Amino acid sequence: MENGSEGAAPAVPRQLRASAPLIYRQSAWTRATHWIWAVSLFFLLLSGLQIFNAHPTLYLGDQSGFGFDNEVLAMRGENTANGPVGYVRVLGARFETSGVLGLSGDPERPVGRGFPAWATIPSGQDLATGRVIHFFFAWILSGTLLVWLVAGLINGHIRRDLAPRLADISRLPRDVVDHLKLKFHHTSDYNTLQKLAYAGVLFVLLPLMILTGLAMSPSMNAAVPFLADVLGGRQTARTIHFIVMVLLVGFFLIHMLMIVAAGPINELRSIVTGWYRVDYKPDNTGRSA
């Protein structure tokens, strides 16, 4: 996910020398954390949807129920004169979503559930197992992110490779136009949009996901009772948690689109082997000149 050019680069593998220029862009640590996060987020997403299905409604505030008018989203199924239908209600606006959200499964015997079985782990309605899987990968993600943040601050990787500089901001309009035209520059450094996107995920979305998850935990409510209040209440924390999940899914889809558009072989080789093909001849430090 992030540039790992710090440290001495190994010799270019013999089978890649003919296709130079190549640089060693992603360190082993970078590649390891990238795949740990990718696997963790995959299981967190699908197990999180399983947990959401136990009560597929989001609210604002600290409480919910018939006595409160604080619903912001609901996924439901209901029987009508024309048969069962599924729907999503967002801020009072209703949209029929039969077969996908609210009601899904066998068309002859549809099941009322928020997200369909194919989108959850486990596929059946199993809250207990979903919670076990979710918390297991949540601790893996949180621990790896914490170690990465500390290491990145100590070795200067965050400041050197990810923090946007004034020069990056001045290049932002050009980067936006280039991306819209699907015109990419393969260099050793990230462009401004990449830096902003990665910084938003690593320093905003993932920490916010962890904090809102902790705010929903009864044990954390006892240990740190003010956390839920700071976030607007447990129900608000759950809603923010869901919104962050949607934003991370959006980031993933755009990330995949950019990989395909920029050259999937080069991008995948970089995050698997560390070697990346650049547009310019690299200097003797291994970085593009």
Domain extent, residue 77, equals 59-114
Is the residue at 50 inside a domain?
no
Residues 73 and 186 in one domain: no
Q: Which residue has the tokens 């001849």?
A: 281
Please give the tally of structural domains in the chain. Answer: 2
Residues 222 and 271 in one domain: yes
Residues 91 and 202 in one domain: no
Tokens of 88: 């999503």
Q: Which amino acid is at 116?
A: P
Residues 63 and 175 in one domain: no
Is the residue at 32 inside a domain?
no
User: So what's the pLDDT on residue 224?
Assistant: 87
The residue ranges of the chain whose pLDDT is under 50 are 1-2, 5-7, 282, 284-289
Which CB contacts under 8 angstroms, 24+ apart, belong to 201-204? 201/1, 201/248, 201/251, 202/1, 202/2, 202/145, 202/148, 202/149, 202/162
Is the residue at 1 inside a domain?
no
Final residue before a domain boundary, out of 114, 130, 146: 114
Residues 93 and 170 in one domain: no
Is the residue at 190 inside a domain?
yes
Is the residue at 148 inside a domain?
no
